[in-house]
Amino acid sequence: MINLKLIETNYEEFNRKLKAKKVDDGVLKNLLDKYNECKKEKAKLEELQAFQNANSKQLALLASKKEDTSALKNSLNENKQNITNAQEKVRMLEEEVENIASSLPNLIADVVPIGEDEEDNVEIKKVLTPPTFDFSPKDHYDLGVNLGWLDFTRGVKVAKSRFVALRGEGARLERALYNYMIDFNQKRGFEFVNTPYIVNATTMYGTGQLPKFKEDLFKIEDEELYLIPTSEVSVTNLYADEIINKNDLPIKMTCYSPCFRKEAGSAGKDTKGIIRQHQFGKVELVSISDAQNSDKVFNEMLDCASDLLTSLGLAHRHLMLCSGDLGFSAGKTVDLEVWLPGQNKYREISSVSNCYDFQARRAKIRYKDENGKNQLAHTLNGSSLAVGRTLVAIMENYQRKDGSIAIPEVLRKYM
């Protein structure tokens, strides 16, 4: 959640950075009005409580002197009712402020370029050179079907569209990939964790999926439980409502999980193949840092994901996302896009984001600083990598003229 104190201390910056993420002026005006109204009602409540405290002492003094207290008693009883009414009004206003604020995205970092959509993202650099072929390269759909790796017909039969069954060498390659990724990340200092694939509503709220993205989630019927859209949700929330010793920071974790997304609003996009599925595997990087070192940790995570792609021999590029393409919880994101010969373009395979204190404020993740004072932690997450899309990239980049696919050297022992 955003820091509401910015409404008072720097409303212009607050307003500018949220508008850069396409938040409507009316929403911000409503939030400001409700916030100011709530402050005024809290001040009135404090006055009523001060009156009650002071005159309760006066009542006790008069009673001890056997003086008439009836008028003061009546006044205190009336004031007590006023306090009850004021408390309810403050509660309702706080709830309104909370509801509006919880629907607002994180503020953009100063380094984020202002832009409307993915067309305004800024390329930082390219890594490796895309391969050349002496034949016309096929896309992963044709390669996978011809090799018997991708069984779309039976995947759809047992579920619905945008599900696939991986078979034979395709299934083995997927397993090899997530084992290799986990080993690679562990060597970079990320602890391997396994977390639940089903989480409660509080956990979804903590990382920003609820309430705004409820329609994109798969919910368990008659339960306040959801299938995770990414293991970022469960891994980050391992430290929800905790105070961490600063000496234990940064906490760096990696996790493999299936991810489940309805992909609401993506109808007609990437329907062919396994680029955009309702269920897909992903190896995630998650870090919890103190405020001073989170950008350093961000760079470490970005290097880890990029070096992983390099180790697989996959050409890719780094893109700084503009404000209009930035995710809800992210203050800054760099995407890694891998080269896909079958599509003749770069496609997203990883996003590394610094959420700063946005998720930590929602999930109450704190640490004690050197002065013993509680501070909000910074949370970071990154794909390392989307396993299905890495499978696609290997199939298309390592294809041979006869339709077979070479296996990258680093994966062979995992096969």
**280 closest CA partner among 174, 407, 170, 169:** 174
Establish whether 350 is an annotated binding residue. Answer: yes
Establish whether 118 is an annotated binding residue. Answer: no
Query: Is residue 91 annotated as part of the catalytic site, yes or no?
Result: no
Cα separation, 34 vs 97, in Å, equals 6
Establish whether 348 is an annotated binding residue. Answer: yes
**Three-class HEC string of 140-179:** HHHHHHHHCCEEHHHHHHHCCCCCCEECHHHHHHHHHHHH
Choosing from 172, 276, 317, 347, the catalytic residue is 276
Establish whether 329 is an annotated binding residue. Answer: no
Establish whether 230 is an annotated binding residue. Answer: yes
Establish whether 349 is an annotated binding residue. Answer: yes
- Here the tokens at position 222 are 């008659």
Choosing from 162, 261, 362, 366, the catalytic residue is 261
Cα separation, 29 vs 24, in Å, equals 9
Q: How many residues does the chain have?
A: 415
Establish whether 136 is an annotated binding residue. Answer: no
Establish whether 161 is an annotated binding residue. Answer: no
- Cβ-in-10-Å burial (0-12, 13-18, 19+) of 200 comes to middle
Cα separation, 306 vs 301, in Å, equals 9
Choosing from 323, 351, 353, 384, the catalytic residue is 351
Establish whether 271 is an annotated binding residue. Answer: no
- Here the tokens at position 321 are 């996302």
Query: Is residue 412 annotated as part of the catalytic site, yes or no?
Result: no
Query: Is residue 78 annotated as part of the catalytic site, yes or no?
Result: no
Query: Is residue 167 annotated as part of the catalytic site, yes or no?
Result: no
Cα separation, 219 vs 324, in Å, equals 28
C-alpha distances in angstroms, 351 versus 40, 61, 185, 337, 375? 42, 67, 16, 9, 26
C-alpha distances in angstroms, 287 versus 331, 352, 373? 15, 11, 21
Query: Is residue 276 annotated as part of the catalytic site, yes or no?
Result: yes
DSSP-based three-state secondary structure for 29: helix
Choosing from 361, 362, 366, 389, the catalytic residue is 389
- Which residues are part of a known binding site for ATP? 261-263, 348-351
Active site residue ranges? 261, 276, 348, 351, 389
- Which residues are part of a known binding site? 230-232, 261-263, 284, 348-351, 383
- Which residues are part of a known binding site for L-serine? 230-232, 284, 383
